[in-house]
Amino acid sequence: MTNSAGTAAATHQSAGGREELGITHVPASGRAPADGYLLQEVGVTLPTAKGPLSILRDVNLHVPQGQILGIVGRSGTGKTTLLRVLGGLLRPTTGRAMVDGVEITGPPEQVVTVFQDYASALLPWRSLERNVALPLERRMGRPERNERVREALAMVGLESRAKDYPWRLSGGMQQRVQIARALALRPRVLLMDEPFGALDAMTKATLQDQLLTVQRETGATIIFITHDIEEAIYLGDRVALIAGSPGHIPLEITTDLDRPRNQVETRELARYLEVRHQLHAALAAEHNK
């Protein structure tokens, strides 16, 4: 198992010989790919009352445009810090982070972050359509803004509730409104921090499928953090495990699951179960180090 500035790969021994679980090519030349994210030897150290604290160390990652990447790991391994680096909200202490070949020095254009605290993110005195319109109000005229709001609410199945207020909605619907607000900006990249973590299992499954539909319709890159390994596999084209303190990425796995996906049939596939086993085993091994 390696994780270097050249190629990050994870392997295991099977009956048929040695099989690659997932490979991420990170150019050693330092030149960024034509599109997508590239992180090279990224480290983050933050000041604390007890002195500098290293949160991330030697993180190498390439996420091509249009891919869905799930990031899993235990609490305290730097998952949210990594998402903040990707969103341009935090500069790396060491290494560099780039998107579409440009170094990230602040929030990149067309990169939007969706947090799990959907209730606090919505303004209760604004209707759903006015909540979705909020980030657009100083960017464009009313006709284009209204069209984008209608389009975004339709993508998350809430076009008929446009005049309602957030406090009338369930938690799952409120989270859909927050996703619609992000989609109204027509992002190339959607960063999501535990987007469905506070929801019940049935609501979570519905929103997972809705997210896959949105990605198919928009072609956006989606990078999301979750504690739920099964969710990461079901949604992701790839899953990255972040572990340790400071956090690093010792393992990435390509899921190789066909689309469209089905909550019952996909989760019964041999490949799904194989990836699930590998991630649980890797997480346990990192915990026991």
**Runs of H (alpha helix) within the chain:** 79-86, 118-121, 128-133, 142-155, 171-183, 201-218, 229-235, 270-287
What is the reported pLDDT for 120?
78
Residue located via tokens 């998350």? 156
Q: How far apart are CA 102 and CA 43, in angstroms?
A: 18
Question: Measured at the alpha carbon of residue 121, what is the angle toward residues 131 and 170, in degrees to the nearest 5?
Answer: 80
Give the domain-ending residue among 147, 167, 185.
Answer: 185
252 and 161 part of one domain: no
* Amino acid 34: pLDDT: 56
- What was the pLDDT predicted at 29? 41
**258 membership: H or E segment, kind and range:** none
Q: Along the 289 residues of the chain, how does pLDDT read in single tens digits? A: 333 333 333 333 333 332 334 333 344 344 444 589 999 999 999 988 888 999 999 999 999 999 999 999 998 899 999 999 999 999 999 999 999 889 999 998 889 988 777 667 889 999 999 999 999 998 889 999 999 999 999 999 899 999 999 999 888 889 889 999 999 999 999 999 988 887 888 888 998 999 999 899 899 999 999 999 999 999 999 999 999 989 999 999 999 999 999 999 999 999 999 999 999 999 888 877 7
108 Cβ neighbours under 8 A, 6+ residues apart: 87, 88, 99, 100, 102, 189
If asked whether residues 96 and 222 sit together in one domain, one would say: yes
- 102 plus 134 within the same structural domain: no
The shares of helix, strand and coil residues in the chain, as percent rounded to the nearest 5, are 35, 30, 35
Q: Of 256, 273, 254, 280, give the one whose Cα is nearest residue 10.
A: 254
Question: Tokens 């953090």 — which residue?
Answer: 225
Give the domain range for residue 170: 124-185
Whichever domain contains 261, its CATH number is 3.40.50.300
Does 119 fall in a domain?
no
pLDDT value of residue 48: 87
Domain end among 166, 185, 204: 185
- Edge-to-edge order in the sheet of strand 221-226: 111-115, 189-193, 221-226, 68-72, 238-243, 248-254
Is 116 a domain residue? no
| Residues 228 and 96 grouped into a single domain | yes
The owner of tokens 């606090």 is 120
The gap from C-alpha 247 to its chain's centroid, in whole angstroms, comes to: 17
pLDDT tens digits along 99-139: 988 999 999 888 998 877 766 788 999 999 999 999 999 88
**Contact between residue 189 and residue 221 where contact means Cβ atoms under 8 Å apart:** yes
Please identify, among 185, 209, 237, the residue that sits at the C-terminal boundary of a domain.
185
Measured CA to CA in angstroms, residue 221 lies from 35, 120, 150, 275 at distances of: 11, 25, 22, 22
Q: How many Cβ atoms are within 10 Å of 141's Cβ, its own excluded?
A: 8
Q: CB atoms < 10 A from the CB of 116, how many? A: 19
Q: What pLDDT score was predicted for residue 27?
A: 43
pLDDT of residue 2: 33
Model pLDDT, residue 19 = 33
Q: Is 267 exposed, middle or buried (0-12, 13-18, 19+ CB in 10 A)?
A: middle
160 in any annotated domain: yes
Is residue 217 located within the same domain as residue 242? yes
Contact 226, 74 (CB under 8 A): no
Quote the number of domains for the chain: 2
Cα(186)–Cα(182) distance, integer angstroms: 7
197 and 177 part of one domain: no
